[in-house]
Every structure is written in C-alpha cells, then in structure tokens.
Amino acid sequence: MAHKHTIHAHAHHFGWNNAFEPALRVAPGETITFETIDSSGGQLSPSATLETLKALDFGNINPVTGPVYVEGAEPGDALKVTVEHFAPSGWGWTANIPGFGLLADQFPDAALHLWSYDTVSMAPALFSNFAKVPLKPFAGTIGVAPAEPGLHSIVPPRPCGGNMDIRDICAGAELYFPVQVQGALFSVGDTHAAQGDGEVGGTAIESPMAVTLKFELIKAAGQKFPRLMLPGPVTRHNDSAGYEVTTGIGPDLLQCARDAVSGMVELIAKRQGVAPVEAYMLCSVAGDLRISEIVDMPNFCVGFYLPRIVFA
C-alpha cells in the first residue's frame, strides 16, 4: 500500500533552484498532501486593507510548498502527477496591482476585493454585490526544478512547469512534467478558488488551500514541455446561461487581447453601473481570453468570453 505524507506550509520556498534541499523524499506511487500559502506569501489575510496591499513585499510573493525528491527520477523521464483533492480555506483575495496585468496602463491605482466562500457547498462566491463567480479550485504554480543552476524567478512559466495558471489543473487532472534534474524536485502553490483563462488582471481568487497529489514516474519519456490529461468537460460550470463576447482584431496579437478585454470591461461597467476596475477584476476571475483566429494574416482575432451565469 502506497504511503501518504503531508508537507506543511512552513516548508515553502520562493523561486526555483535545483540546489534547494528536499522537504521530503518519496517513491513513485506515493501520495502527498501539500499545505499552500496564498500568492501574497501570507501578507494578505481576511482582514487585509488597501493599505496592506500597497505595502506588499514583492520579494516574498508566490511561495510554493516543497520541493519533493522523487526516487528514481532522472533527466529525460516524465513525472506524472495526479490531482486527487483540494481542501479550500474559504477565503481569498483578488487585486489590481499597479504595474501588473494586461491593462496595467489603464488601471494605475490599487484595488482589492476580499472573498468568502462555503467550503462544503462550494457555491458561487459573491463579488461586489453585482455578480457571483462559480468556483473551480486549482493550482496555479506547479512543476519541477529547472536544469539551469541558481535561483530563478517564480513569475514566468517554464518548460518544466511553474506559474502556468492553467485553470483546468483541478481535481482529476493528470499532469506530466519533463524531469530536468535528479529527483525532479517538485513543488506546488499559488492555489486559486477560481480564475478565467488568461488571468487578465494578474490575479485570480487567490486562496490558500491544501492539495493532495499522487506521484508516478515514466522512464525515458523524452518530453519537452508539460502536458495534461483532463477527465471531462472544462467549462460546464459556466456554460448554462451562455456568454457575452467582445473581440479585438488587428495585426498585433497582444493588442488584440487588450482590445478584447477593454471592450468587456467597458460593457460590464456600463451595464452594471460599477467602476471599471471592478469590471476588470471580475474579468480576471471569471472570463476567458481565446485566440479565435491566427492564420488570416495580417490580422488576428481574439475573443473574450464572459459567462452570463455570473449575473444570474
């Protein structure tokens, strides 16, 4: 029978470094429950204020719990990680952080929304009295250590995983990471209660929680990038009331994305009578940014999909 382990939140680190000492060593087939800290590194709490947000130390953000040394893992192998369960905390935060996010130039002022949600029913969480966001817990940062020596920022995703922010890394998902160093040195954190594809505002519902993962090893997989296997539909929790869709069209894909999101922010703010920054934060946690067309050059088309269920 495979052993089950727990790694508590104090065993965390900032950034990736293949010289970090393992918090735990396991054999393939074993299961670990990881306690994670929210992406503020514990600097924000259910009683946080806008002043707390403004005082964030960005040297201590996005901690990940680990690393875990998997016996027998070698460069060229793939580490298979099955997401078995999330135990959410019931609180979270979403923010507009000056200088961060797809529309940072349009929203220079800090803004903060604190969330409270039911961890038993996992019912949609109330947002600023005009919307409710369906919840779908997942791990935003998950992966193994890179081969390059030294300390590497946790912020960008990497070929070995990291801050991918794929909202479908939820319970039931199977992930396959290319092992780059002996033992793989796996870590996980940045857990979210909900997020839209693209995380356009820079934050989701940032929420500490525990996540239970099972580890297996595939020898000589020769894999270059992470891949996933998902057990079922990915948007059913949002689909039932349809979508509002705005677009951006032009020769610059990033500008297309900005235009599509800007259009949705304007639409929500006008229809709901709320501040544009509130609409922007809602887009980040509930809306999906999609490349609709990338072959008919010189112009591309990007769509931003906001599920109408958030206003039901």
Please determine, for residue 2, whether its predicted confidence score (pLDDT) is greater than 70.
Answer: no
Map residue 237 onto helix, strand or coil.
helix
- Rounded to whole angstroms, the Cα distance separating 163 from 55 reads 23
In this predicted model, what pLDDT tens digit does every residue of 17-62 receive, in sequence order? 999 999 999 999 999 999 999 999 999 999 999 999 999 999 999 9
In this predicted model, what pLDDT tens digit does every residue of 175-228 receive, in sequence order? 999 999 999 999 999 999 999 999 999 999 999 999 999 999 999 999 999 999
For the domain covering 238-311, report its CATH number.
Answer: 3.10.28.20
Write down the domain spans for the chain: 4-229, 238-311
50-68 b/e with 16+ CB inside 10 Å = b?
eeebeebeeeebbbbbbbb
With a pLDDT cut of 70, the percent of the chain lying above it is 99
| Mean of the per-residue pLDDT values of the chain | 97
- Rounded to whole angstroms, the Cα distance separating 183 from 160 reads 13
Q: How confident is the model at residue 236 (pLDDT cuts 50, 70, 90)?
A: confident
Q: What is the pTM of this model?
A: 0.95
238-311: same fold as 4-229? Answer: no
In this predicted model, what pLDDT tens digit does every residue of 63-116 receive, in sequence order? 999 999 999 999 999 999 999 999 999 999 999 999 999 999 999 999 999 999
Q: What phi and psi, each to the nearest 5 degrees, are found at residue 199?
A: 40, 55
Q: Is the dihedral of CA 171, 24, 70, 27 positive or negative?
A: negative
Give whole-number Cα distances, 49 to 39, 43, 55, 93, 147, in Å: 16, 11, 10, 11, 40
Q: Does domain 4-229 have CATH number 1.10.3720.10?
A: no
